[in-house]
Chains A and B, each alone.
Chain A
Amino acid sequence: MFSYDAPNFTLNFLTSYFAGEPERAVYAKFRVSVDQMVASGDFIGIMEFNGGRRVWMIAPPGCAGRVAAINGKIDYGLLADPPVQFAVRFAAKKP
């Protein structure tokens, strides 16, 4: 469901994943909050689809850090199309 843009510490929704889904995604219920630490494999939330299906959102490999921002204005109708929309941004690592 995700691609992790490591240089920019950004977890993005993967358009090809949503393009392949038979139902439209209609709501991302995040279960992390700003300043929370997230590691790869952690449960981030639930993606809900119009047919009633729920899919867990899991932090992919390499994705880890302190949550800096969560996308609060996802355009669900465009998740399957570029440009990618971000899901979570993490704080830049200190040098």
Chain B
Amino acid sequence: MRLSLGLWVGALLALGCGGPGVTLPLTYDLPATEPQSNRLSLEVLLLADNQTQYLYGKPIWLRKGLFDKVAVTGIRSPELDLYGQDLLGWILEREAGVRRGAVTIHLGDALNLSCTWEMDRFTRTMSAAKRPWFMAIGNHDGYFFGSGRTGPGSSQDEWDAGCEKGGGPITKTQVIERYFGLLVAQGRQPTAATVRGGVGADPGLAAFAREADIARETPWSYTGSAPAVLRRVQWHRDCKYWRSYLIQELDITDPVDAPRPVRVILLDTSQFKDEPGLAATVLPGMYDAGASGFMLDNQLEVVRSWLEEDRKDNAVVILMGHHPENVIGGPALAALQGLRQEFGVELYVSAHTHSSAYFVYGLGESKQLELNIGSVLDFPAQYRTLAVLQEERSQRTVMRSVRRELWQFWQDGVAYGVPGFPDCEAKKDAWYPPDTPHNNYADYMKSNSLDSAGTERMIFGALLDSYARLLKVAPTVTAPAWPPGTGTDAAVSARIATLERPEAPLASLQDFLLALDSFEASRTVEDEAARRDYRVCQAMWASTADKHKARIPEVDQWFVVFPTPAAKD
């Protein structure tokens, strides 16, 4: 079998998989300053794990207060879920805008429960990217709550309930179809900036939009002569959606005199032979998509064929996928590491962990390096850039990757007076007064409840309170979609006060919050900058509280101002 050599080598490598004691040999340099180099690639923006959350479905088993103690991202702080996508939007505006933007690579987990509403919201968030963007599928993109619908508390009924009034569940096959459509939409944009300057869509995306047909599963590749980023796409839609996959190859070669091409293959590490789910916790041989990644042979064979062509072109190839190698299922991992070994792939980039690290795998002198990136949502919200160079003297490949944590980036930006950086602490008293009746960020964490409905009521109450404050910060100028029974901000606030009473039916809170979501997305306000800053500051405070389960300074915090003695409580 063609993959057998790779499997054998990969198995050997997997025996020495990442962990204490596996180190890079001294043949790898880790310099403090940039070696004199020639650029091989464009600079790309790497981000992942924004976990768009549909908040307005029926209470589900997996969002009980007690369960959150076991799986700490089972429930996030309400304001983090409500405003967290604005963190991704802020990053895209800064790093993927028309001016001084970069190609964006999203490494998966765009969704959370996997509802159609989440896909719609993610699509709206990504519209802030004015440069080409591409995505690798994550475990939350098409699998219920990132695991699948088999096992305790994760049935189709639970999925339907969680996505009620949110367009229903969206399976992986449907995510692939929606994403395919987003690639086509990018290709049809006449005025978007190209990564190489000027206007017009990336030639690769434009060709894809003209030529590709999702109904025909023939491999698509770019055949034009103009430099293009999107080079190849292959997909398979299966009625058993866990067997579907979509992979892409990008050409990020610097357009001017790069001596060899640089290509990125975006893998789909959420492809399984059998339906994954929480049943894997009790049934051997099954996978939980949240705990493990996998790839089937039909995908890996395409990857092998692409790598064979890339080798003929002497290309530097970087593999990227959602799951880190140390959670990819045995045979798939062996195949992946075998391909890396056989084709000299020096770097694999992954996400999923919501932290960030380098991992080293290998046996003896055969080492493989993995760069794992953090989440743009969970603290510390972060992203990276990546560029490939070639050292002038030795001709060795150089990777340059800069990581930014948003909270520190914002503090530095504010300190230096950079426009567009939110000064959250300066607004704290106004936007989150000390006498706020309950701590919206952390109240849900006190719950050890097995009552999903009770937990949902707590969350809905926090969301309503946050909307009430948002209306005061950013009053409405025009609104094409006022919530039913209202027509002014005062009427909205009055309705919120009514719904915050304990006797208000949960369904009424659900319906009104859905209406508020549409209202907020479409209204214009007096001070757009204030609204934007309010939303991202709430997300950042909630993200910090979600991590620490309290408001505690970060270790890198330079300044702490203590209260006057009488105001400590």
Contacts and interface: CB of A to CB of B under 8 A. Distances in A.
Interface string A49-79: 0111110000000000000000011111100
Contacts of B254: 48, 52
A85 B452 CA distance: 53
Q: How large is the interface on B (under 10, 10 to 19, 20 to 34, 35 or more residues)?
A: 20 to 34
Nearest to B131: A50
A74 B385 CA distance: 13
Contacts of B37: 27, 29
Given A50-B42, A52-B255, A26 B387 contact: yes
Contacts of B293: none
Chain A CB count within 10 A is highest, among B37, B99, B195, for: B99
A80 interface: yes
A23 B38 CA distance: 19
A24 B102 contact: yes
B102 A50 contact: yes
Contacts of A7: none
Contacts of B502: none
A22 B197 contact: yes
A22 B100 contact: yes
Interface string B177-204: 0000000000000000011111000000
Contacts of A26: 39, 42-43, 387
B413 interface: yes
B32 A53 contact: no
Contacts of B402: 75, 77
Interface in A23-50: 23-24, 26-27, 29-30, 48, 50
A80 B256 contact: no
A24 B100 contact: yes
A5 interface: no
Interface string B429-443: 000000000000000
Interface string B367-404: 00000000000000000010101000000000000101
Main secondary structure of the interface of A (DSSP, over half): loop
B38 A50 contact: no
B34 A72 contact: yes
A51 B196 contact: yes
B416 interface: yes
A52 B95 contact: no
B416 A77 contact: no
Contacts of B416: 81-83
Contacts of B197: 22-23, 51-53
B43 A76 contact: yes
B33 interface: yes
A21 B100 contact: yes
A68 B256 CA distance: 31
A19 B386 CA distance: 21
Contacts of A80: 100
Nearest to A48: B39
Nearest to B254: A52
B417 interface: yes
A48 B195 CA distance: 14
Nearest to B94: A77
Contacts of B99: 21-22
A15 to B, nearest CB: 9
B89 interface: no
Interface string B77-120: 00000000000000000010011111000000000000000000
A21 B254 CA distance: 18
Interface of B: 32-34, 36-39, 42-43, 95, 98-102, 194-198, 254-256, 385, 387, 389, 402, 404, 413, 416-418
19 contacts: A18-B100, A22-B100, A22-B197, A23-B100, A24-B101, A26-B39, A26-B387, A27-B387, A29-B37, A29-B38, A48-B256, A51-B194, A51-B195, A51-B198, A52-B197, A52-B254, A80-B100, A81-B413, A81-B418
Given A23-B100, A29-B36, A29-B38, 14 more contacts: A22-B197, A24-B43, A24-B102, A26-B43, A27-B39, A50-B42, A50-B43, A50-B101, A52-B254, A72-B32, A73-B33, A77-B95, A80-B100, A82-B416
Interface of A: 18, 21-24, 26-27, 29-30, 48, 50-54, 72-77, 80-83
